[in-house]
Amino acid sequence: MTSIVMDDVSKYFDGGQTIANYRLTLEVADGEFLVFLGPSGCGKTTALRLIAGLEQPSKGEIYFGDERVDGWSPSSRNVAMVFQNYALYPHMTVAENIGYPLRVRGVPPDERDRKVEEVTTLLHIEDQVEKKPAALSGGQRQRVALARAIIREPSVFLLDEPLSNLDAKLRQEMRVELKRLQNELDITTVYVTHNQEEAMSMADRVVVMNQGTIQQVAPPQELYKRPRTAWVARFIGSPPMNLFEGTRRNGSIDFGEAGAVELDNVVRVGETGDETVGTEKSGAEDGSGATSVVASDVQGEVELGVRPEDLTISTSRPPAKNVIEGQVDTVEPLGEYVLVNVIVNDQLVNAKLADGTVSRDERVYLTFDDEDAYLYDENGELVG
């Protein structure tokens, strides 16, 4: 087993014009399943290729265990890689494909056969070994590619969008399978994806990347519960967090020209001052305790975040203090929940509800608890 360290690693292309990775510092523990997650072009693949040795860092150092490996060739790092477009040899059987890396290393046939049997059993493709790749389904081919990658017993397993070519159902099955495989092999794994569900379901920790930099490194639940930047908050969750831009003055947040003047601890967004409610003093006095949002003394431009599932909706004005007034745009009954899109000022707000007893164009009141609110400062950093 091997831990991986990236120490202040940057990678530039085009003579410094393109910054693919900027000052990445990261440790992947022995046996950990780490996932790089981010939008297209954020530098995930480059980070993986740096670990693999397919690229060399422009700056910084990379370690496997105690050994500094930047400068080493991919083959001397003992990594196995699986990509989205894995190539199997069409003229070879499944067994021959899987055994190939051992054959080129001169491993004797007996031992090779034994190993092939071992990994094909592990991946549930032992019945397919005599077939040629053309006779396999997409999922089976992907299993063969995985088997071929792990048969060498690499110290690090690197996967770049390996499930992208599979249909949704198969992708989900393979997610479970990959996680099980990684658990059984206990092999340090770095996985790249732009698919949030994939990342959240498999990772021990997720590295969220944007524009070549690390935004946050955290276990999936923590990432969801405490997005450290407004960018992460907007990226994680389906639909993601609603963020309201406003100006914090003392205990209140002002949500724009059309919004009302805010009073202590009252969050209000509405078209006119008259239409907003909740002017009573609250917060620490209502028994809910001073929330972090209220307690934070950050002033000026802020963003207040509330997740769609933390909003409740009513058609009459509730006596609650955190009231956001808006107009229903669309109602989407999705089975498990109803997604209501509400226009608040000019912004579209998502609310996930158990049922959708509201209709298009109806005026509604969205409320939320203090403890479900997040506050981001003008730099997008979580402050409360």
Residues forming contacts to ligand ATP in the complex (CB under 6 A) are 13-14, 18, 20, 38, 40-46, 194
130 and 95 Cβ atoms separated by less than 8 Å:
yes
Using CA atoms, how far residue 272 sits from 5, 242, 246, 267, in Å, is 55, 21, 16, 14
Q: Which is nearer to ligand ATP, 212 or 220 (CB)?
A: 212
Q: Between the CA of residue 374 and those of 278, 300, 319, 321, what are the distances in Å? A: 19, 15, 22, 16
343 strand-pairing partners: 327, 348
13's CB contacts (< 8 A; 6+ apart) are 20
Nearest approach, Cβ of 54 to ligand ATP (angstroms)? Answer: 10
- Alpha carbons 137 and 124: distance in angstroms, whole number: 13
In this complex, which beta carbon is closest to ligand ATP, that of residue 38 or of residue 99? 38
**Those residues with Cβ within 8 angstroms of residue 10's Cβ, 6 or more apart along the chain or in another chain:** 19, 21, 22, 23, 24, 57, 58, 59, 60
Judged by beta carbon, residue 20 or residue 81, the one nearer ligand ATP is: 20
For residues 40 and 379, which CB has a smaller minimum distance to ligand ATP in the complex?
40
Alpha-carbon gap, residue 47 to 144, rounded angstroms: 25
The least CB distance from residue 218 to ligand ATP, in Å, is: 19
Closer of 181 and 190 to ligand ATP (Cβ): 190
Least distance (Å) between residue 200 CB and ligand ATP:
17
Measured from the CB atom, the residue of 20 and 260 that comes closer to ligand ATP is: 20
Residue sitting closest to ligand ATP (CB): 45
| Complex with ligand ATP: residue 20 or 146, whichever CB lies closer | 20
**CB of residue 161 vs ligand ATP: minimum separation in angstroms?**
7
With respect to ligand ATP, which residue has the nearer C-beta, 22 or 374?
22
Please confirm whether the linkage preceding 239 is cis (ω < 30° from 0). Answer: yes
Q: How far is the CB of 138 from ligand ATP (least distance, A)?
A: 20
How near is the Cβ of 157 to ligand ATP at its closest, in Å? Answer: 18
**Cβ closer to ligand ATP: 17 or 316?**
17
- Contacts of residue 150, defined as CB under 8 A and 6 or more positions apart, other chains included, come to 80, 119, 122, 157, 181, 185, 187
Q: Looking at beta carbons only, is 21 or 155 nearer to ligand ATP?
A: 21
Nearest to 308 by CA among 269, 353, 265: 353
DSSP 8-state assignment for residue 71 = T
Residue 15 CB, shortest distance to ligand ATP, in Å, is 10
Mapping DSSP to helix (H, G, I), strand (E, B) and coil, where does residue 260 land? coil
For residues 77 and 70, is the Cβ–Cβ distance under 8 A?
Answer: no
Helices and strands (DSSP H and E) totals, the chain:
10, 20
Beta-carbon count within 10 A of 302 CB: 25
Report the 3 state secondary structure along 326-353.
Answer: EEEEEEEECCCCEEEEEEECCEEEEEEE
